[in-house]
Amino acid sequence: MKVSILGSGSWGTALASLLADNHHETILWSRREDIAHEINTRHTNERYLPDVSLPSSLSCTTNLTEALKNSPHIVLSVPSSSIRCLCHLIKHCGVDLSHSYIVHTSKGIEKETHKTISSMVEEELGRSYRNGVSVLSGPSHAEEVARKMPTSVTIASPSALTAYWIEKAFSNEYFRCYIQNDVTGVELGGALKNIMALAAGISDGLGYGDNTKTALITRGLHEMIRLGMVMGAKKETFCGLSGIGDLVVTCTSQHSRNWKTGYMFSKGASLSSISDKIGMVAEGVKMTECAFALSQKLGVDMPITTSVYRVLFENAQPEEMVSELMSRAPKDEQLM
């Protein structure tokens, strides 16, 4: 079948490589002519996946209409801040999407509206596609997927049939998909864990050890669950791949852009200089602003998120925030 991947960053390119390996007619859309030319002629994307060879059957285009035409599977793989812009471009292509399934891989929430990615897509594209918007998320570094290292992810969809077709398209001997229907929970797990990865990076940069980071991960999960349940997610979703799984890998791996951002920030680098050096978006920075605002609006206790927000945006000292977290009033560990 034909599968269209919209977004030629590290994750979009890795998924396109995976789908081409699965013998699908895979077309990758890029905004950049140089990246499209490199993928089509050299079968590499050195900017985003250095030292990775891509399948020769994978093609890349800068023509969005060409990428979308007659495609039963459309994967949106751009940063959360680019989702509305991409949907606007799709609408103006004039392509019939009525037989297409749409799945996104973005991890974030819109800062201004606090809408999830699926809500934004539905708002922009209406019901021009089949069976609602699905999401693919989980502990999955693009670099490792591109190198065919065993990986498991979650596919959440409002339609069991859609989830089945997506699972069939993506699964192979090194990429395993699990299915569920809690779209909100999977989206929030993927978005909120980036805040905890920033905290883990800051902790490592300050020289704290495994005890500290483990506490951040564990208590961070509680914060994710508290906010998620208020927003309609299922508690058990956060105990799966898109929750604790993604949280652990993002907080403990130096592949993680969010961990790198926290680490470099603790060493005195500015957010703008970190973004320039990494060359990719650290979704956790904007997500910290969004989650802090949501916690205030909804009355949800999120002390780690609040501390990260104060460090990033109010010039609070990380050591002071650690002291505040450690001196909070005692409470029952299981109390949500």
Catalytic residue check, 193? yes
Taking the CA of residue 203 as centre, how many other CA atoms within 13 Å lie in the half-sphere pointing to its CB? 24
Q: Residue 316 CB: number of other CB atoms within 10 A?
A: 16
Is residue 167 within 8 Å of residue 179, measured between CB atoms?
yes
Q: Residue 329 CB: number of other CB atoms within 10 A?
A: 4
Which residue among 193, 213, 260, 286 is the active-site one? Answer: 193
Q: Rounded distance, CA 233 to CA 187, Å?
A: 9
Annotated catalytic residues are: 193
